[in-house]
Amino acid sequence: MNLLYIIPKMTHGGGMTDVLAEVREFRKKQFDMTASVVVLEKSLSHHLIVQAYEMGLKVFIEPSEHILSKLIAKASLVIVKYWNSPAIYSFFRSLATLKLDFRLCISPQVNGLTTPQIIPSWIYKIADLFVKIHPNTPIHKLRQGVNNLTIQSFLDLPRDIVFKKSKRIDQFRLFYAGTLNMFKTHPELIQVNESLAISNYEFDIWGAGMDSAFEKQLLGCQNVFYRGFSNNILNTIQDYHILCNLQTEYTYASFDKIMKECQWFGKPVVVLKNTFVDSFIIDGVNGLLANDMEEYKYLIENLASDIDLYHSLSEKTFEFTYHNDTQDRKVLDLFEAYGNVISSMPKKQINPEDCPVSEWEAFLENIGFSYIQAQTAMENMPILKLKFLLNCEGGLVHFLKLFPENSNLRSFANSVAQIIEMTH
C-alpha cells in the first residue's frame, strides 16, 4: 500500500501532525505500507520537518506538476488532510486539468459547518472515502456507497500511563494551548481568566504566537501569562490541573488532539456549550460544559475551592478516557478502510465539471452562500462572523493572497471590510 498524503501547509494546524501520528501508528503495527507527503504551500515548521525526516518520510514541498503526476500515478490512495484552503482548490483544479487517475480519501481537519470552512458539495462528490475527526461533520452529501468513519487524531502517548493524583495543590494551574487569534479562541479568553476569584492561581497560554489584540490584553496581567511554543506538550501538561478550551460558535477547528492528550493524564477540559468542541466533552465525566462565561468562571472557581471535587473529576476523566479511547482499534479500522477502498474502487479522474471553474466560485462554496445571498446576509451578520469571513484561513484575504488578480474576490473583500469599519 503506497499512501500519498496531501496537506495545505506544514504547520501544526495544517495536517502534518496527524500524518506523522498516523504513519507512526501504522508502522508500530508493522503494516505493509509506504508513505510520502506533498506540502502545497511553503509555510514550514522546522520542528515538524525534522520529525518527518527522522521517520524517513519523503516530503515534497510545492512540487512541480511533473513530479506531482508521478507521485499520484504511484499512489495506491491519495489522502487529503482537508480544509478550505485556496491551495487545496488549486490542487484539485490541477488534477482535473492533468486528467490524472487516482483514488481519493478526504480527511477533514475542520468541523465543516462554519463560515468560511463549510465543506463544499463538490468535495463530497469526488471522495472515495471520507474520514472525519469531528462527529458533527456532515456526510449526507457523499455519493451512495462511499464509506465514512469518525476517527479522532492519533496520539503518541507513553506506553504505560498511570493516573497520578495531585497530592497537594498550593497553586491552581490552568492553561490554554493553541495559536492565539480570534479564529482559534474566544476573544474574552484573557480578560475572563485574569479575573477569577481564586486566591492563588495561574493561567498559562501555550502556542505558536498571538495577534496584536491579545498582546494588548496581556499587558498588565497578574495571573495570565504567554509561555510560547511547547516542543513537548505531553510533558508541559503535567504541571496543570485543567485545560480551558474556550471557543466561539464560529470556531471551525476540532482541537480534539490537545483535549484528548489532557484527558489521558486526568486533566479535565472545560469548554462552552454550542461551540462544536462541546461534542468531545461529557459533562462531569471528562470535563465540564459551561452555558456562558459567567458559568465558566463559577465552574473553575468551584473546582479550585473544593479540591476533593477536583480530584474526583480528574480521576473520572482518566478512567473514562482509559476505558473508552481505544486507539488500537481505530488504527486497525483506518488501515482496513484504506485497504478496502484500494481493493474495491478503481482509480478515476476528476471530471472538470465537478470542480469550481474559478477561485471565486470556490470561495462562495466555502462560505455556503451564492453571491446574491452573501451580499444580503452580510448586513445582518454578527461582527465576529464577518471577521471570520474576511480574515481567517480560507477567508477572503487568504484567497486574495493566492489569486490577487480576481476582481470579484477583491470587490467582495472591500465590501466586507467596509461593513466591519462602519460597525466599529
pLDDT in tens, 59-77: 999 999 999 999 999 999 9
* DSSP reduced 3-state for 326: coil
Strands (E), 185-240: 201-206, 224-228
Same domain, 86 and 207: no
Q: What is the pLDDT of residues 248-261, one digit of tens each?
A: 988 888 888 999 99
Which among 382, 379, 386, 375 is positioned nearest to 408, based on CA atoms?
375
163 confidence band (pLDDT: 50, 70, 90): confident
Q: What does pLDDT average to over the chain?
A: 91
Q: Classify 423 in phi/psi space as left (phi over 0), alpha (psi -120 to 50) or beta.
A: alpha
167 within domain boundaries = no
pLDDT band at 424 (very low <50, low <70, confident <90, very high): low
Indicate if 276 and 345 belong to the same structural domain. Answer: no
Cell of 349: 479522474
* Domain total of the chain: 3
307/187 same-domain check: yes
- Contacts within 8 Å (CB) and 24+ apart, 135-143: 135/279, 136/111, 136/276, 136/279, 137/108, 137/110, 137/111, 137/112, 137/113, 138/112, 138/113
Q: Which amino acid is at 390?
A: L
Confidence check: pLDDT of 278 > 90: yes
Whole-number pLDDT of residue 194:
97
**pTM, rounded to two decimals:** 0.92
Instruction: Please write the tens of the pLDDT for every residue from 165-182.
Output: 766 788 999 999 988 887
Grid cell for residue 175: 492553561
Number of H helices, E strands in the chain: 17, 13
**CATH number for position 89:** 3.40.50.2000
Please tell me whether residues 339 and 363 are part of one structural domain: no
Same domain, 342 and 378: no
Judging by beta carbons within 10 Å of its beta carbon (0-12, 13-18, 19+), is residue 168 exposed, middle or buried? Answer: exposed
Which residues span the domain enclosing 189? 172-324
Residues 114 and 191 in one domain: no
Q: Which long-range contacts (CB under 8 A, 24 or more apart) does 143-151 make?
A: 147/337, 147/340, 147/341, 149/333, 149/334, 149/337, 151/330, 151/333, 151/334
- Boundary (domain end) residue, out of 336, 354, 372: 354
pLDDT above 80 (res 376): no
Q: Give me the percent of the chain exceeding a pLDDT of 90.
A: 63
